[in-house]
Amino acid sequence: MDRVTVLDGGFATQLSVHVGKHIDGDPLWSARFNATNPNAVFKTHLDFLEAGAECIMTNTYQASIEGYMEYLDLSETGSLQLIKATVKLAQMARTKYMADNEVRRVPLVVASVGPYGAHLHDGSEYTGEYADYVTVDTIQKWHRARIDACLEAGVDVLGIETIPCKMEAEAMLDMMTEDYPHVRFWISFQCKDNAHIAHGENFADTVSNLWNKAKLFGNENLVAIGVNCVHPQFVTPLFRAVNEKRPTKERIPLIVYPNSGEVYSVETGWQGKEDCVPLEHYVPQWVELGARYIGGCCRTYARDIERIKLAVNSL
């Protein structure tokens, strides 16, 4: 069996332990704290490393030039500097963790590259409806500025995440292949049910097409494709549709970091905690289906990552 890498959990969720504030609903979400409380951001990274995460994602999901200019009154240059400083917080946490612990593998710092829809703050990252009217060029140009800032600051991998539509995923694959030929990355989708990504395309077909296209391009840097910020019950059928009929050697390496199983609505917030199945219970079946990277997203804390790590180690 190939090695399974444990990711971190829901950054805003664990951050709330340190800032004690309701973060959901802010147009900058957790990205505001990069400016207002960087120490809490540093501590949150450290929590996940101490829980056993081998990859930590920068707090840049909701960080954009437009967002920082509008809601923090920064210039374009200042916005890009804040994104770079945010990467440094993850690096500092890794340095501190490695100084305090015996480490066999250097943890990776992964740039969180959220979808185009996230900065619109209209929920379209969960529908992908902008695929119907925004051009590929616009999406690539918007992503490029943040990607360049993260790479200049020194990340190991790009986590292109919560992508709701095939069009944006293909635009990103094309851009990574042409403009960033030496940069490793993954692509993970937002899915609306156990068969389709948010915009409605079939998940298994989309994943297969992307993987085949990467191979056709000769792009060896796409480390995995998968899902994040989804209900954990969707994951097994989604992964089964991708890999179950493939010979072992031809399986696509998959990535999964789902929500806790709680469901969010603007009116009531997060509901259903008492009905959640702990994520570590799913780990054996996901690994069996080809998951090579496993972590958590919204409503998952450092303690959840600790339990996922134990489940992975027991395999």
Binding-site residues for Zn(2+), in ranges, read 229, 297-298
* Numbered residues of the known binding site: 229, 297-298
User: Going by C-beta distance under 8 Å and a sequence separation of 6 or more, which residues neighbour residue 158?
Assistant: 110, 111, 113, 147, 150, 151, 176, 180, 183, 184, 185, 186
User: Torsion-angle region of residue 105: left (phi > 0), alpha (psi -120 to 50) or beta?
Assistant: beta
- Phi-psi category of residue 33: left, alpha or beta, with phi > 0 → left and psi -120 to 50 → alpha: alpha
Query: From CA 256, how far away is CA 233, in angstroms rounded?
Result: 12
- Closest to 191 measured CA to CA, from 257, 250, 243, 253: 257
Q: What's the CA gap between 34 and 89, in Å, rounded? A: 9
